[in-house]
Amino acid sequence: MKKIKLALLIILSVIILAGCGKSAKEEFFDYTKKNVTENSSNDISMTIKDIKLTTDMKDSPEANVMVTQLKDIKVTGSMQHDVSEKATNTKLNIEALGQKIPLEFISKNDDMYFSLDIFRGISKIASQFNSELPSDEKTLSAFDGKYLKLSDADTLEIDSKSATNLTKEFQKEVSNYFTSLDEERFTKENDVVTFKLTKKDVVVLAEKFNTLSKSKKEYKEFVIPDFDEMIKNLPKALDAKFNLNTKTNDLAVALTSTFDKKDEGFIDSIEVLYNYKPNDKQVAIKLPAKKEIVNVKEIEAILAPYLSDELDEELDEELDGDFNMADDEFKELVKELEKEDFSSFSAAESDELLEEYEPLLTEKQYKTIEKIFKNK
């Protein structure tokens, strides 16, 4: 997953480059400049065009069923950008495993809101894999029409201001890099400008991102851990082909990833198609009303009955297995608990949590945990 995220970070950055002029290269960047400097509204879609299995898995019924399910995944929606309001609204519908899942992001300045209407679809899909999530109408309806404010400090463990500043600086790096590319990499036939992005480009831009993250103290949290290992584990080949129709402003992107046999996966290569087509649906972008916004603690409260039952089951399983917590496991537990904020817990709630842990701990370990809960 990290491989795909890193690749998409670089590929999506191409869409926000700046430039001017009339050569094939400059026409391509005219389009990208227009999309970030003027109001825009686009229909977008994503489909998986092809998946090739490795030679040893071509006759596997299980692998072929999975490929069929993956190829059935479709994403459609729209993306709207209001320059004067510094706002965007992205609405997607994901079709997967017989379910339709709505996905919506609304942003303005540094604030971003995520629609929780997605929860119903996720719950239904999870049930197909015997991974139980709350599915009762009371719980599901509590999420309907609600939004999580992603920029809240208790939601993201990152500094949103630093993230915004880093993004702006990285966009400049991306712009400078693509401006320096040879004209020959951009070709035009009739009204279509074609440009190809390669794995080499992805690696260069990833290196620029990591170098930039190391350049200032405020960006330190964004440095990619185990960077060399991540680059080493990228797909064997990674190619993105951009086709821009300069008359209609339709943009088609074909992303192909080819994996190395040593990865020991069942997929040899996968080709994904993205399409962006301008529409005339520009309307005012509305932010969620105050009553529609929930925070992480409110979500946890809604899910508390379910999470509590799940925890009880896990603890019962551990106890039935004559569980003893090793020192290294206990140290990890302490690290995780010290990160949590128990200040809002009542004395009764703290005591209840301690009771859950007590059978798993030695007397010394229990006193350490008790001190963490009581001091928060």
Degrees to nearest 5, angle at CA 230 with 92 and 122? 30
To the nearest 10°, the Cα dihedral for 270, 271, 272, 274?
160
Distance from C-alpha of 189 to C-alpha of 197, rounded to nearest angstrom? 18
- Tens of pLDDT, residue by residue, the chain (376 residues): 444 444 555 555 554 443 333 578 888 877 777 776 788 889 999 999 999 998 888 888 888 888 888 889 999 999 998 888 889 999 999 998 788 889 999 988 878 899 999 888 888 777 766 666 677 788 888 889 999 987 664 555 566 677 778 888 888 888 888 888 898 999 999 999 999 999 999 999 999 999 999 999 888 888 888 888 888 888 999 999 999 998 999 999 999 999 987 766 788 999 999 999 998 877 789 999 999 998 888 887 877 766 655 444 544 454 444 455 667 777 777 777 776 666 666 677 677 777 766 767 777 788 887 777 766 5
Cα first-last separation, the chain: 35
Pairwise CA distance, residues 29 & 178, whole Å: 9
At residue 321, the pLDDT reads 44
Name which of 38, 42, 21, 104 is nearest 250 in CA terms. 42
pLDDT of residue 36: 67
The per-residue pLDDT for 324 is 53
pTM of the model: 0.69
Predicted pLDDT at 20? 36
Task: Quote the pLDDT of residue 345.
Answer: 65
